[in-house]
Amino acid sequence: MEKKSYKNLEERVWNTDACSGCGACIAVCPADALYYREGDSHPVSFGYCKQETDNVPCGACYEVCPRVPEKSVTVDAIGDYLSLFGAKSTKDSPLYQSGGAVTAILAHGLENNLIDAVVTVTEDRWLKKPESTLITSTGEILSYAGSRYSWYTPVLSALKTAVLERKYRAVAVVGVPCAVSALRLMKESDNDLIQPYARAIRLIIGLFCTEIFDYHLFIEGMKEKMQAEPWDITRMDIKGGLIIEREGFIPEKIDLSSLSFCVRKGCHICRDFTAIDADISAGSMGTPDGYTTLIVRTPVGKGFLDSAVRAGSVILADNVSPDPIISHAKKKSEMNRLPQDTTRA
Ligand SMILES: Cc1cc2nc3c(=O)[nH]c(=O)nc-3n(C[C@H](O)[C@H](O)[C@H](O)COP(=O)(O)OP(=O)(O)OC[C@H]3O[C@@H](n4cnc5c(N)ncnc54)[C@H](O)[C@@H]3O)c2cc1C
Ligand code: SF4
Ligand code: SF4
């Protein structure tokens, strides 16, 4: 079959505002020819391409893109799973977004050499600026707990460093559903150029996601709506709206519809709320405050969670109600449905 190139991505994903900004194409391009220009909603090319310029078969970028129409997730509910739990870390921290179960599973994996690195999104806490980061110590994992609700960089860029530069062979990746789907495409690809990624990714943790904000527009929005600088914000959460906490103020809830101007373009056609391609999906919806909802989807996910529970790092509870999660997933899927969509699961 004829391999596709970045030209096909440009035509079918970049120029149609379908790009989610996951950065998978940038990570796997063997010529390092794709990059992200701050302010753009999709990657761009330096102009060189193995396939287009030298006629050498490649197709890597196209094969891992979750937004190529024939590969896009068109799910109507929460996908297949093995089990559903409320979970929390047994170590306390004010930084956890929900119950800290994601941090606890990753920290347990690093401490016990089940994984040798984690690719995740951290932030400059002063500017609230998100960053794709490679982490190898439990101390760092604990210090970067919490959710980043905006981005501007290719989220999976640290994956290239992990796999090709540092040559880690057991990498865990945390991502929102679009990034998770790209990771699953990498794992399932038979393209030789993608194989190093397929072999190195050991655990995929997906975070529930309704939408994500463009970093710069979001910061502008906070200044305009609340006269808040990024360093004034002490905590953010999405729970029936965006909750902003600041020192000396009572928490304020902003209606998400009033922030639609800063939602990234690619989110408007996203139909996956719960990261159906993950090994374990995690969110706050469906469990009481202080717990993380975990959807365990694969034997790999089950293995990591069981190990963390056996070691006493995570405790599980039978306190999940799936109904609000299913209902929200259906709402997102329906709202972002395109006329040509067909449903996958
Ligand atoms: C953009 C976004 C939107 C979300 N929307 C919802 C929602 O609508 N409903 C809902 O129930 N839950 C939502 N979540 C999930 C929720 O905020 C928590 O991440 C989840 O409950 C896990 O909590 P925890 O305490 O176990 O995670 P923690 O233990 O606090 O660990 C979180 C981990 O996620 C990593 N991380 C943070 N931000 C990102 C990011 N943008 N991309 C990749 N990795 C990241 C951190 O580095 C850390 O390793 C969203 C998360 C994000 C990032
Ligand atoms: S969705 Fe991801 S892989 Fe596809 S073009 Fe955008 S950044 Fe690249
Ligand atoms: S809504 Fe979330 S998962 Fe979907 S494209 Fe946007 S960031 Fe990605």
Backbone φ and ψ of 194, nearest 5°: -100, -10
For 238, the token pair is 């999405």
In this prediction, residue 338 carries a pLDDT of 64
In this prediction, residue 1 carries a pLDDT of 60
Relative to the alpha carbon of 130, which ligand is closest? Answer: 1
Residue type, position 192, single letter: D
In this prediction, residue 345 carries a pLDDT of 39
In this prediction, residue 344 carries a pLDDT of 45
Ligand 1 pocket: which of 93, 147, 203, 280 to mutate (most atoms <8 Å of CB)? 147
The pLDDT tens digits for 269-307 are 999 999 999 999 999 999 999 999 999 999 999 999 999
For 93, the token pair is 């921290």
Same fold? 6-71, 83-212+265-335: no
The pLDDT tens digits for 17-61 are 999 999 999 999 999 999 988 778 899 999 899 999 999 999 999
Q: Is ligand 2 within 6 A of the CB of residue 73?
A: no
Task: List CB contacts of 65: < 8 A, sequence separation 6 or more.
Answer: 9, 13, 24, 25, 71, 182, 185
Ligand 3 pocket: which of 68, 74, 156, 178 to mutate (most atoms <8 Å of CB)? 178
In this prediction, residue 240 carries a pLDDT of 82
Select the highest-mean-pLDDT range: 74-88, 177-191, 234-248: 177-191
For 145, the token pair is 């707990």
The per-residue pLDDT of the chain, averaged, comes to 92
Q: What is the pTM of this model?
A: 0.96
Q: What is the mean pLDDT of residues 81-108?
A: 97
CA of 272 to the centre of ligand 3 (A): 8
| Ligand 3-lining residues (CB < 6 angstroms) | 20, 176-178, 209, 211-212, 264, 266-267, 270
Q: Is ligand 1 within 6 A of the CB of residue 145?
A: yes
Q: Is ligand 1 within 6 A of the CB of residue 178?
A: no
Query: How many beta carbons lie within 10 A of that of residue 204, not counting itself?
Result: 27
pLDDT at residue 318 tops 60: yes
Relative to the alpha carbon of 87, which ligand is closest? Answer: 1
- The SS3 call for residue 118 is strand
The DSSP secondary-structure symbol of 12 reads I
CA distance linking residue 133 with residue 317, whole number of Å: 31
- 233-238 and 171-175 beta bridge pairing: unpaired
Higher pLDDT residue, 176 or 74? 176
Relative to the alpha carbon of 238, which ligand is closest? Answer: 1
Protein residue closest via CA to atom 6 of ligand 2: 19
DSSP 154-181: -TTHHHHIIIIIS--SSEEEEE-HHHHH
Relative to the alpha carbon of 62, which ligand is closest? Answer: 2
CA of 185 to the centre of ligand 2 (A): 12
The pLDDT tens digits for 139-197 are 999 999 999 999 877 878 899 999 999 999 999 999 999 999 999 999 999 999 999 99
pLDDT at residue 218 tops 70: yes
Among residues 266, 259, 220, the alpha carbon closest in space to that of 242 is found at: 259
User: Which segments of the chain are extended strands (E)?
Assistant: 34-35, 44-45, 83-89, 117-124, 129-135, 150-151, 171-175, 201-207, 213-214, 233-238, 242-246, 252-254, 280-283, 292-296, 314-317
**What percentage of residues in the chain have a pLDDT greater than 70?**
97
Q: Which CATH architecture has domain 83-212+265-335?
A: 3-Layer(aba) Sandwich (3.40)
Confidence of residue 212 (pLDDT cuts 50, 70, 90): very high
Angle at 28 between CA 26 and CA 30, to 5 degrees: 100
pLDDT at residue 340 tops 70: no
- 292-296 and 314-317 beta bridge pairing: unpaired
* Domain limits, the chain: 6-71, 83-212+265-335, 213-262
- CATH 3.30.70 for domain 6-71: yes
In this prediction, residue 307 carries a pLDDT of 98
